[in-house]
Structure 1
Amino acid sequence: MKQPHTYLFFISLLLTSFLYAQDEAPKTTAKDTLPPAEKYGFRAGIDLARLVRSAVDDNYSGFEIVGDYRFHKKFYLAVEIGNESLIRDEENINIEGSGSYIRAGVDYNVYDNWYGMQNSIYVGLRYGFSTFDQTLNDYTVFTSTNYFGVDQITEKITAEGLNASWAELVLGIKVEVLNNLYLGANVSLRSLVSEKTPDTFDNLYIPGFGRTNDFSSIGVGYGYSISYLIPFFKKK
């Protein structure tokens, strides 16, 4: 089955093309001597990537609510709250991680809009925290020879009350496609800060952070969102 990245890649191309076309358009006319008042408010929506992946990947389910609040011309408070579950079915192990998470931080818009628009290309920082369970469904005991056959353990082992925290750097875009309606895309680089692991095995998937491995504490993520702006006031 194709990865959801393939289906969602074209959304990024569409949003990038939209911003490029905006730069090619004339920025002002003779009568537009003063910039219009810009909207400040709360923007809320959902992550489309997790909905698509839940539909196409039988081993995954997830849902995420996204939101940001513009408190300065260039700065936004941002938060993502979600729930995820993933089964890692690999050659010698089958394990499921499931739980909830929150990521919160600040975004800075580096993009200069043309007249009357409020799109953004932003850089952000987040701190994430997740509470989750890990269930070891089955695993194969390593031996130097298979002379006596494969020794597969199928008794489930569940570890509850686990948690992890991390910091992340986010790069993204948000485009206003209709009045107050935005499509967005982002990628993130994440680094684990703390992690509580089960007594007998390691965490292989942390909701909100992603897959883990023995070689590095660094992870990556991505998201595609649709959100609606609720304007509170306007300011020039």
Structure 2
Amino acid sequence: MSSCFLTLAVQAQKKSATSKKDSVFVKPVVKKPARVNNDTTYMVPGGLRIGLDLSRFVVTAFQPYRKEIAVVADARITSNMYLAGELGYNNTSHSDSNYTYKGNGVYTTVGIDYNFLKKQEPRERHMLYGGIRYGFAHLSYEAPSYTIYNGYWGEKTTGSFPQTNISTHWVELILGMKVEVLTNLFLGWNIREKFLLTNVKDSDFPPIVIPGFGNASKKNSFDVQYTISYNLPLWKVKTTFAKPLISGKSKKEKEPEKKK
């Protein structure tokens, strides 16, 4: 009987030793969670944005002989790229003791804008952009009468220049911003530098103003534009918005205080 108890005690001791050994040296395998790509694709409003160039009315206030109107537009074709342009009309009428001038014409520009502003949320439509445009204008002008005074002889010569039709071209660089102040309603401004590609100063009778460009006596022109426009959400474009990955401890979690 005593031998049976001795055998059971030895087996129990071995089993206890084996269990203790396993608990010391065998470590559980913990699987690390797979890294998730937080970039999400959204369909956001695109559409056609149409508005007015308010700065043309300011020009008329300071230069009454110039009457201009311009319609601006852009279309969102990708998340940050816009096809942009404008269409305008100019009428210039000037008269003094030396000559009388009449001119009018239309112009158009077309180009692209790129939005550099990093979005805070996918549907944000504020813009800080740069762009480039090609400009074209066709105008007709004339001087129904002019007078040339000869100070030495005290004589004067009168005459007139017939109506002349010309076309001009230029390139302009743009930097500006647009802000959505109400749903689909935008206010914006931009500065632009224009470079004339057509030489009109060598003609016998150059125009005073080139529609869309400005002073015809200069090869380059600086301009400021203020716009109000409304977006027609006719289509949507695809955009990818990256959410920040959360790593380490949450900001709300407090680290344990260190013992002194």
Give the TM bin, normalised by the shorter chain. 0.7 to 0.9
Name the aligned partner's letter for residue 52 of structure 2: I
- Corresponding residue for residue 135 of structure 1: 142
1:68 is aligned, of 25, 50, 74, to: 74
Aligned Cα RMSD in Å?
Answer: 2.9
- 1:105 has 2:111 as partner: yes
- Corresponding residue for residue 45 of structure 1: 51
- Contact 1:163-1:195 at 8 Å conserved across structures: no
Measure, in 1, the Cα distance between the counterparts of 2:46 and 2:165. Answer: 39
1:191 is aligned, of 188, 191, 195, to: 195
Measure, in 2, the Cα distance between the counterparts of 1:205 and 1:192. Answer: 12
- 1:233 has 2:236 as partner: yes
Provide TM-score, normalisation by structure 1: 0.72
- Corresponding residue for residue 180 of structure 2: 176
- Contact 2:94-2:101 at 8 Å conserved across structures: yes
- Corresponding residue for residue 213 of structure 2: 209
Give the Å deviation of 1:195.
Answer: 4.7
- Corresponding residue for residue 11 of structure 1: none
Measure, in 1, the Cα distance between the counterparts of 2:62 and 2:49. Answer: 28
Give the Å deviation of 1:86.
Answer: 2.3
Change (3 A) 1:69 1:172: same
Measure, in 1, the Cα distance between the counterparts of 2:118 and 2:94. Answer: 43
Measure, in 2, the Cα distance between the counterparts of 1:56 and 1:175. Answer: 27
Measure, in 1, the Cα distance between the counterparts of 2:225 and 2:178. Answer: 11
- Contact 1:87-1:96 at 8 Å conserved across structures: yes
Measure, in 2, the Cα distance between the counterparts of 1:224 and 1:88. Answer: 26
- Corresponding residue for residue 86 of structure 1: 92
Name the aligned partner's letter for residue 72 of structure 2: V
- Contact 1:96-1:205 at 8 Å conserved across structures: no
Change (3 A) 1:142 1:167: farther
- 1:58 has 2:60 as partner: no
Give the Å deviation of 1:187.
Answer: 1.8
- Contact 1:123-1:170 at 8 Å conserved across structures: yes
Give the Å deviation of 1:94.
Answer: 4.5
- Corresponding residue for residue 224 of structure 1: 226
Q: Deviations for 1:103-125, whole angstroms, at most 9, x for unmatched residues?
A: 00111112223334211111111
- 1:122 has 2:129 as partner: yes
2:163 is aligned, of 156, 159, 164, to: 159
Give the Å deviation of 1:89.
Answer: 5.7
Structure 2 residues without counterparts, runs of 5 or longer: 1-38, 240-260
Higher deviation after alignment, 72-81 or 188-197: 188-197
- SS of structure 2 residue aligned to 1:141: strand
Which of 1 and 2 has greater Rg? 2
Provide TM-score, normalisation by structure 2: 0.66
Structure 1 residues without counterparts, runs of 5 or longer: 1-32
Aligned residues: 199
Change (3 A) 1:93 1:221: farther
Q: Deviations for 1:79-109, whole angstroms, at most 9, x for unmatched residues?
A: 1011111235678555333100110011111
Give the Å deviation of 1:190.
Answer: 1.0
- Contact 1:162-1:198 at 8 Å conserved across structures: no
Higher deviation after alignment, 49-58 or 79-88: 49-58
- Contact 2:106-2:139 at 8 Å conserved across structures: yes
Give the Å deviation of 1:179.
Answer: 0.3
